[in-house]
Amino acid sequence: MLLWSDKVVLGDHVSGLRVAAAALEIEGQRIRSVTPCDRAGFATLAESHDDEVLDLSGRLVTPAFVNAHAHLPMAAFRGVGGAMAMRDNVVENLFFALEKELSNEDVRAFARVGAYESLRAGVAVVWEHYYGGDQLAAALGDTGLAGFVAPTLQDLDGPGVALLEQQWQATFDLLADDTLAEQGVFPALGPHATDTVSGELWRRVADAAAQHDLTVHAHVAQSIEELERAWARHGTSAAGWLARTGALDARFLLVHGIFLSEGDLGLLDPARHTLGFCPYSQLQFSFPADVQGWERAGMPWLVATDCAACNDGMGPQKELRFVAGMRAVATSWSDEQRAFRSSGALDNARALQAKRQAAFDAWPTWADPAKLLSRVWSIPGALDPRMPCGVLAPGAWAHVLTWDLSHPALWPATDPLRALAFSEPGDALDGMLVSGRWIGRPGTLRSALLHDGAYEAARKEADARLAMLLAKI
């Protein structure tokens, strides 16, 4: 397949992003070549190309989004428990109770609906972490979504304790499944969290990661209860406990990190550790992690959604505006704000404005569209060498989006990258390739996803299963 557009997003978080005219040659699941060229150059390339040739002039062609932390089946829990469920530890107090009642069939049915929502948001790759690993992989296969499946491993607490060996085996069954690999479905190791996984299991995970070159994907320092248990049981922090077990020797995606201190960050290695930030989810179940501290420590970090149950959406692009605004938020609760609110004096107002300006100047890249987009493109796309993605480059997997720049959601697209980072672009998404296969050709994506009968059948099954689940509890 040969695709050309006068507006193709090239580059990554290291080299920077640019929009240029280019032709992409796709062979199988991967991008074979990228040739910057005008339409005349494209016509010359097309003369010797026997496969499908598409002129996408006027459309923006980008990498698909990577959602590097998701729990697809938890789409079924959206709204369950209401806002007050988030006051304390929603994972232990609500989600564990629901998850103890899940069947394998429930997991697959609910994950399918979450996968459709992800595809509709332009996500081609998810880093999925949940119970029922084989069912998660099957749901990805059912819908065409690609991803890294980490069957949840627990041996101290949680719904997965009784399923530990089954989930462990599911991880390595995925590793051996060449058919799923061709579809873009790969395994990761999924220990749940530092307080639900024993030292013995962490060491087992570390050994397996080294032996099979697998990425570890886990929740770390996500709650006060987890931190309290680490100190009570081990006399150290959650990150300190991981270091003691040897788990940090692995390539590791550490998600949430809400209770990571500067000392904890000093234990991490930017060459093999990446931190996962899920802002809208954290706003509901806790509070946003100190990503400025992560940045000062030199740690790579990405943006993901977490689950729809505490985010209410599965599109990582929408998280970017919050990230961009974080540099200014502290001004609202600063000493300068309190002084002005108390006095109303002009001098205090000027000091408050100076506080905002200093924050703006201190973090100039936080509102840079290219930097923001890299946190849902090339940074998560580089997490595991089995499926390099999030870039349009030779050797990368062909996860590609096409956007209608004439759509009012993006118009006038004077700066396409800014429009994509800051707008509500979902309705302008009109085409999608996942692993080199069309999910929806340019101009047909919405109908291909939602109106071909497959989604309706998946939703009806999920509706019935959700009604039975809620009746149980």
Mind listing the pLDDT tens digit for each residue in 408-438?
999 999 999 999 999 999 999 999 999 999 9
Highest mean pLDDT among 73-82, 88-97, 241-250: 241-250
pLDDT for the residue 465: 94
pLDDT for the residue 446: 86
pLDDT for the residue 56: 97
Q: Smallest Cα–Cα separation from 386: which of 127, 207, 141, 33?
A: 127
448 token code pair = 């291909």
Residue 84 has pLDDT above 90, yes or no: no
Percent of the chain beyond pLDDT 90? 84
Instruction: Put residue 77 in one of left, alpha, beta given phi > 0 → left and psi -120 to 50 → alpha.
Output: alpha
| Domains of the chain with CATH codes | 2-63+390-442 (2.30.40.10), 65-314 (3.20.20.140)
pLDDT interval class at 85 (50, 70, 90):
low
pLDDT for the residue 29: 97
Average pLDDT over residues 365-390: 96
SS3 content of the chain, % helix, strand, coil (to 5): 50, 20, 30
What confidence tens digit (pLDDT) does each residue in 111-140 have? 999 999 999 999 999 999 999 999 999 999
pLDDT for the residue 33: 97
Cα 145 from Cα 139, distance rounded (Å):
8
Weakest-pLDDT range from 139-143, 222-226, 280-284, 411-415: 280-284
Q: Is the peptide bond before 270 cis (omega within 30 degrees of 0)?
A: no
> Using alpha carbons only, what angle is made at residue 262 by residues 259 and 263, rounded to the nearest 5 degrees?
100
Residue 87 has pLDDT above 80, yes or no: no
Cα 302 from Cα 323, distance rounded (Å):
11
pLDDT for the residue 411: 94
pLDDT for the residue 377: 98
Q: Are 425 and 402 in contact (CB under 8 A)?
A: no
Q: Are 302 and 380 in contact (CB under 8 A)?
A: yes
Average pLDDT over residues 300-319: 91
Cα 69 from Cα 271, distance rounded (Å):
20
| pTM recorded for the entire structure | 0.95
Q: Smallest Cα–Cα separation from 305: which of 239, 380, 410?
A: 380
Higher pLDDT, 304 or 282: 304
Average confidence score pLDDT of the chain: 94
Q: How many helices (H) and strands (E) does the chain have?
A: 22, 17
pLDDT interval class at 263 (50, 70, 90):
very high
What confidence tens digit (pLDDT) does each residue in 145-165 have? 999 999 999 999 999 899 999
Q: Are 323 and 372 in contact (CB under 8 A)?
A: yes
Residue 394 has pLDDT above 90, yes or no: yes
pLDDT for the residue 93: 72
